[in-house]
Amino acid sequence: MPDAARERQLLALTEAIGFSFHNLGHLDRALTHSSYANENPGAETVDNERLEYLGDAILGFLVAEWLFKRYPEAQEGELTSLRVFVVRTESLARVGRELQLGQYLRMGRGEEASGGKEREANLCAAFEAFVGAIYLDRGLETTRALVGALLETRSAEIELQRSKKNAKSYLQEYTQSAMQITPAYAIIAEHGPDHDRQFVARVMVGNETWGEGSGRSKQAAEQAAAAAAIEQRAL
């Protein structure tokens, strides 16, 4: 169990996020970086790497389950792409930052001095370990409810990512809604031998070029041009 001072810190965190632990030792371990354990060896100092491993596996499963139920018509490739988007380091680090896990991370002096509490990799690992700690402390159903609630708060973002994966459809929906114009595509160049042909497409919205892209088929080049337009216009 954590000492009295650490216990007060952890209780402040649980109060802030509205989630209590039966055993604060699970949370303490989830928020202990390996650099702290290295500087403070002993039976009571265990880093969060094993919990990170557990939490990563649980998150992967629960996110996959949530996506499977949310998008019953989606195929394996699309579901995999969305899962990767949700559990990428940047996304999980943002959740860790929103939960203020970095503020409660114990780490070595050098790691902390170099900005370790704000480093994306550390925040991502802390959140994964946090999920692992919840699973050990409260079981799968509680963990599923918490992860599901977090996913619901990001459902619009996930839906937008899903739309953008088909860039042509997303761009057409946008331009028709905002401008009453349908994008027009043209193949403007071809390069390479027949067995490795590269096509370059341009997308026009009205009389204006919005983007260009290349691909190994005309369709892929048009998708790349639409994706370039979406990125350049920050749609």
| Residues with active-site annotation | 56, 128
Please give the full DSSP string across 170-183, using - where no structure is assigned: HHHHHHHHHHS---
Compute the Cα dihedral for 7, 12, 13, 19 and give only its sign.
positive
Which whole-number Å values give the CA distances from 198 to 23, 126, 134, in the listed order? 59, 44, 50
CA distances in angstroms from 67 to 52, 64, 94, 117, 150, listed in the order given: 22, 5, 20, 31, 13
C-alpha torsion angle, residues 205, 206, 207, 213 (rounded to 10): 20
What is the length of the chain? 235
Cα–Cα dist 220/225, whole Å: 9
**E-assigned strands of the chain?**
184-191, 198-205, 208-215
